[in-house]
Structure 1
Amino acid sequence: MTNTDNWLTPEWPAPDNVFAVTTLRTGGFSEGAYQSLNPALHVGDDPESVMRNRARISTMLDLPAEPVWLEQVHGNTVINAAHVDGLCAADASFTDEAGIVCAVLTADCLPVLLCSKDGLSVAAVHAGWRGLLDGVITNTVKVLQGKDLLVWLGPAIGPAAFEVGAEVREAFLAKSTYFEAAFTESHDGKWLADIYTLACIDLASVGINQVYGGGFCTVTDADRFYSFRRDKQTGRMASLIWRA
C-alpha cells in the first residue's frame, strides 16, 4: 500500500502484517464544505454521501471489515474493538485480533496509531488537547500491557496554527513541567501549542520513544486535510489500523 491522492501511509517500521492509513479529503462523494471523502456522520453532511464515502474507503483500501467507528467525546476511554456492539463513546480502541479495523476521525486533533513490534496488537487514538491532558494516549499504552510499541502521529493542527489560552498551558504544566517545551508565547496572553511535542512528551513518560510521523498541519494544507479550526463546518479524515 502506497501513498496516493486519497490517503497517506505511515512511514514507520511496522511489521508486514500491520496495515495503517489516514484518508485525505479527496476522492469521495460529499459536496460543498464536506468535499469530498468525508466518512463522518456526525458533522452535518448528507448521510447517503457519507455512507458512499465509507464504502469507497473500504474498497480502495481493501479493508478486511467495516471499521469500528467511535462516538468520540474528547475523553480518555479506551475500548477493545473486538467487543464493540454499536456506537461506543470512546476516544481510542485496540485489538489483538486479525481483521478488525480500529478507526478514529479527526480534523485538527491528533490521530495516533500504535502497533506492537510482534505485530499482534494495534490501536488507534483520537487525541485533542483535552484527551491528551486526561491521558488517552497513556491509557492506550497501558491497555497494551507493556508491549514493545511503535507509534505514528498523523495529520493534526501544526504548532504555528494552534493558539491556546494560558489556562491550557497551565493545566499541562500542572501535570508535568516537561510539557513547557511544547509551548511558545504568542500574544495577549495566548500561547502556541505543539500537539506533536505534547504527544511525544506524554509517550516518553510511559517509556515510548519510537515515535514516527508528525510535521503536518491540517490548518494550512487545505488541499489534503479537513480543518475544523480553519473552516468550522467541515468533514473528517479517518485514521485506520488493522493486522492480518
Structure 2
Amino acid sequence: MHLIIPNWAGVPANIGALATLRSGGVSQGPYDDGNGGGGLNIGAHVEDAPQAVVLNRALLGVLLPASPLWLTQVHGHHVVDAGEVDNVPGAVEADAAIATRPGVVCAIQTADCLPVLFADVNGRVVGAAHAGWRGLQGGVLQNTVARMRASGAGPIVAWLGAAIGPGKFEVGADVLQAFTDTAQAPEAAVGASAEMTPAARMAQTQACFTPIAQRPSKYLADIYQLARIALGQAGVTQIYGGGLCTVTDINCYSYRRDRVTGRMASLIWLK
C-alpha cells in the first residue's frame, strides 16, 4: 500500500494523518492500480465490486484507530463534528468534518477534487475538507477553520493533498465569474484580504485562471492557489503540500482522466 504522509511543520505528535494512493488493494480494472495490480479504491459509490471496497477499507482500517466517518460529499460547504454524528457510512451529507476527541477519524474521498487536512498546533482539534471548485467558491475551507476555532483550536496548519493540477483543470467562464463575484463580495475582506481593495482581490483571483489559446471562454484553473487564497482569508498562513496532479500521475485515481475510476482517501485524527 502506497501512502502519502503529510510533511508539515508545527503539528504535534498526537495528530495522525495520511492519504491513500491507487495501489495496495484488491479492486480490479478500471479500479486497479494502473498496472494490472489490485487497486485501493475506497469509494462505495463508483460501481466497484462492493466486496472489494469492503476489503480495501479493512486494509486501510489496520492503520487507523477506528472506522472513519465516510461522508456523502455533495460539493457543498457544510461541516460536521465527526464525533457528534452517527458513524453510518454515507448517512451524513457534508463536505468537511472536524474532530475534538481522540480516536475519531475524519475522512475525505477524492479523485481530482482537492483534499485539505487541518491540524491545530495545540493538538486539540483536527479537520478535513473536500474542496472541488464549488466547495472552494462556497467557502468550505473558511467554514472548516471557523468550526475548528469555535471548538477551541489555536493556530491552524493546513496540508493540500493530491488534486487536478493547473495544467489540466479546464473550466468555463462561469467558474471564473463565480470566483470573481466571490472575491468582490464584502465578506471576502477578511484575514489576509482585509487590507486589499475589491479590485486587488479580484485580480488575485483572476490570476488563478489562464486563458486557453484558440478556445474562447475556456481557462486552466489553479485549484491549489485558489485554496491558498481561501485559507489566507481564513487566517491560515502555514500551508503545506499541493503540486501532485491526479491527472498526470498514474499512481492517483482521476475522474477527469479516466471517468470510471476509484477514490482515494485523506484522513486525520487525534491520537
Q: Hey, what does 2:25 align to over in structure 1?
A: 28
Q: Hey, what does 2:252 align to over in structure 1?
A: 225
Q: Distance in 2 between matches of 1:89 and 1:22?
A: 21
Deviation at 1:243, TM superposition (A): 1.1
- Please give the secondary structure, in 2, of the residue aligned with 1:68: coil
Q: Distance in 2 between matches of 1:215 and 1:11?
A: 13
Q: Distance in 1 between matches of 2:79 and 2:240?
A: 22
1:127 partnered with 2:134: no
Q: Hey, what does 2:41 align to over in structure 1?
A: 38
Q: Hey, what does 2:73 align to over in structure 1?
A: 72
Q: Hey, what does 1:50 align to over in structure 2?
A: 53
- Please give the secondary structure, in 2, of the residue aligned with 1:55: helix
Deviation at 1:147, TM superposition (A): 2.7
Q: What letter is aligned with 1:182?
A: C
Deviation at 1:188, TM superposition (A): 2.3
Deviation at 1:213, TM superposition (A): 0.2
Q: Hey, what does 2:189 align to over in structure 1?
A: none
Cα deviation per residue 1:18-65 (whole Å; 9 max; x = unaligned)?
111110110000001111100110010011000000000111x2x110
Q: What letter is aligned with 2:67?
A: E
Give percent identity, aligned residues only: 51
Q: Distance in 2 between matches of 1:133 and 1:140?
A: 14
Unaligned stretches of 5+ residues in structure 2: 33-38, 184-201
Cα deviation per residue 1:87-124 (whole Å; 9 max; x = unaligned)?
20000000111011100000000000001000111001
Q: Hey, what does 2:206 align to over in structure 1?
A: 180
Q: Distance in 1 between matches of 2:3 and 2:131?
A: 20
Q: Distance in 2 between matches of 1:183 and 1:20?
A: 31
Q: Hey, what does 2:239 align to over in structure 1?
A: 211
CA RMSD of the aligned region, Å?
0.9
Cα deviation per residue 1:184-233 (whole Å; 9 max; x = unaligned)?
111322010000000000111121110000011000001x1000000000
Q: What letter is aligned with 1:193?
A: A
Deviation at 1:183, TM superposition (A): 1.0
How many pairs does the alignment contain? 237
Unaligned stretches of 5+ residues in structure 1: none
TM-score where L is the length of structure 2: 0.86
Q: Distance in 2 between matches of 1:192 and 1:147?
A: 35
Q: 1:6 aligns with which of 2, 7, 25?
A: 2
Deviation at 1:6, TM superposition (A): 1.3
Report 1:146-225 matches (<5 A).
147-176=154-183, 177=202, 178-186=204-212, 187-222=215-250, 224-225=251-252
Q: What letter is aligned with 2:175?
A: V
Cα deviation per residue 1:58-81 (whole Å; 9 max; x = unaligned)?
11x2x1100111000000000000
TM-score where L is the length of structure 1: 0.95
